[in-house]
Amino acid sequence: MKGVLEKNAPSLLVLFTDVMICLVSLSVAYQIRFNFNVPISEINTYPIIFSFVVGVRLITFLINKTDKGIIRYTSTRDTLRILLTMLAGSSIISIANPLSFQITDKYLVPFSIIIIEFLLSVFIMVTGRLVVKVIYMELKNPTREKTGVLIYGAGEAGLTTKRTLDRDKGTKYKVVAFIDDDYKKSGKKLEGISIYPSSSIEKIIKKKNIKHLIIAIQNISPEKKQFIVETGLSHKIYVLNVPPVKSWINGELSFKQIRKVIIEDLLGRDQISLHLDKIKEEIQNKTILVTGAAGSIGSEMVRQILPFEPKLLILLDIAESPLYDLELEIKDNPSTNFQNIEPIIGDIRNKDRMRNVFQTFRPDIVFHAAAYKHVPMMELNPSESILNNVLGTKIIADLSKEFESSKFVMISTDKAVNPTNIMGATKRIAEMYIQSMNGLGKTKFITTRFGNVLGSNGSVIPRFKKQIETGQPLTITHPDITRYFMTIAEACQLVLEAGTMGRGGEIFIFDMGSPVKIADLAKKMIQLSGLELGKDIQINFTGLRPGEKLFEELLANEENTLPTHHKKIMIAKVKSHEFAFVSQEIDELIALFNGQNNEAIVVKMKKIVPEFLSKNSEYERLDKELIN
């Protein structure tokens, strides 16, 4: 049976069938026109008329290739082709009538017969194809084997989603209902499927035995998506998402593009509004340097900068393979069509190498994203942490001033606020230095500070995903630990906006929304994967890691904020320090690297940043010694 179903009807057979339909329709049209009593005089003209009409139809069918479509996959486009082809043929036949009238004083084919034949032929040809399609779909995937699907959204995207499921021969899904927020659509039907109001979603899920819920609303708000997903998960059904129209292949939705909702979909917020003209004015035709360009933040900064058409984009990183991958991504992307990039392998701690970069390219704007960021790793390696996060930042900042870059934008972290670990303290020291540099030359020094970004290398979400895929327990340090989250794209967009508005000396902080409990995040990811906590997978609490906080902060206690023209960006009012003081302290700190004495390094850091109090760390005892 499968082999029979998979065979396509020969084009010649389809063509012959369509011609025969026109021939039968023409005969019926005559019967209808003359009330089933066709005069002998008309019957005598049949050979000429029928030959002419069938000839015209045959020629138009061949020209428009109506026989080439696969009948069992008949689409709206195929139906439209048939309609236009028939219309073209009827137009040719109609044009022949005035010519015939001039010669014989009689119309070759009465106009009423032309219209009736056209309507009958189109109806039979389209209906026949749809019947074959329906029969094929039912034989291929019997209804009893199909999974009930509820589509949220009865608009164009919802209709396209239904048709995609209908025509995909590999699916075992059957759309049983639509849900829509527009109450005017309630009670109506879309291609025979009933539309229900959004208030009925739970009732429909239970009544129709729904197993899959597909969100097919374009530009849906995060709050609405959260509600839909939460509703679906509470009834233990799979929730899927239709991608934006712009990502459809050649304007058509593919079944494989309908994917599961992922946790990033639920943690995102409303689309950020940017002052694109100002950003473009800042970046267009400028030489831009991005340090740490191959990292999670750096690479997204590069992607965000590309559309603003810089004169040259310098990609600086020490990681060879990731930098090579980024270069290929840019050059192979037809949508960007941007080739003015300069990938550079280099260590920001190597002053001579960095000087050569600045001397060669003289960047107008520097986005400094290079940093060591993993808290437990830096807690074990304080000497390397200060060398990269403090000395590396100092070198790039000093060269920006020396070569008169117009702006230097450093990407910092919320861990720099009341730091409890080595990494956070190094970033706070870097912030202090950058702020103290402002006003010493032509360069405007700006700092941006935000929390965790979704999907960055080594962050919690990729780790959870890997643990779920391998069936391992999800590991969380503490049941009550919370974090602020923002997508990488959101964070980088706000960095660009802040960099544009910055006048120098500011520490910009971003609206990170509400903190998220990591345990709740893990439970939701388990649900989205179709697993059940306690049955299919476990959560293990391992205890806080060295230097780890339960709750992150965006502002220190003595700090407050000033608003900006952008509602998601604020300026932190932070105590500034004299350049001479900070520079001397940093020089003394870096000098301690040679002795490789971690305790001495940490003590010095605590003196530079008095609010640095270690937690869950071997260096906690140093706080007590310093107090005493």
Structure tokens at 556: 């220190």
Q: Is 549 a catalytic residue?
A: no
User: How far is residue 46 from each of residues 27, 31, 522, 543, measured CA to CA in Å?
Assistant: 9, 12, 77, 92
Question: Which residue do the tokens 């109806």 mark?
Answer: 123
Q: How many whole angstroms from its chain centre is CA 263?
A: 12
Q: Are 498 and 446 in contact (CB under 8 A)?
A: yes
SS3 498: helix
**What region, left, alpha or beta, does residue 468 occupy, with left being phi > 0 and alpha being psi -120 to 50 degrees?**
alpha
Q: What is the DSSP string of 159-192?
A: HHHHHHHHH-TT--EEEEEEEES-GGGTT-EETT
**Catalytic residue (one of 394, 415, 427, 524):** 415
Question: Which residue do the tokens 């810089």 mark?
Answer: 310
Listed in sequence order, the residues at least 6 apart from 452 whose beta carbon sits closer than 8 Å to its beta carbon are 459, 460, 483, 484, 485, 486, 552
Q: Are 554 and 414 in contact (CB under 8 A)?
A: yes
Longest alpha-carbon distance in the chain: 123
Q: Are 365 and 289 in contact (CB under 8 A)?
A: yes
Length of the chain: 628
Structure tokens at 448: 């941006």
Structure tokens at 340: 């003015």
Alpha carbon distance 385, 598 (integer Å) = 11
The amino acid occupying position 179 is: I
Structure tokens at 383: 């000497």
Q: DSSP label at 537? A: B
Q: What is the DSSP string of 275-302?
A: -HHHHHHHHTT-EEEEETTTSHHHHHHH
Alpha carbon distance 387, 586 (integer Å) = 10
Alpha carbon distance 20, 54 (integer Å) = 9
Here the contacts of 269-275 (C-beta below 8 Å, separation 24 or greater) are 269/222, 269/490, 269/513, 270/221, 270/222, 272/490, 272/493, 272/494, 272/497, 272/568, 273/566, 274/493, 274/496, 274/497, 275/497, 275/500, 275/566
Listed in sequence order, the residues at least 6 apart from 344 whose beta carbon sits closer than 8 Å to its beta carbon are 314, 315, 316, 317, 357
Q: What residues act catalytically? A: 415
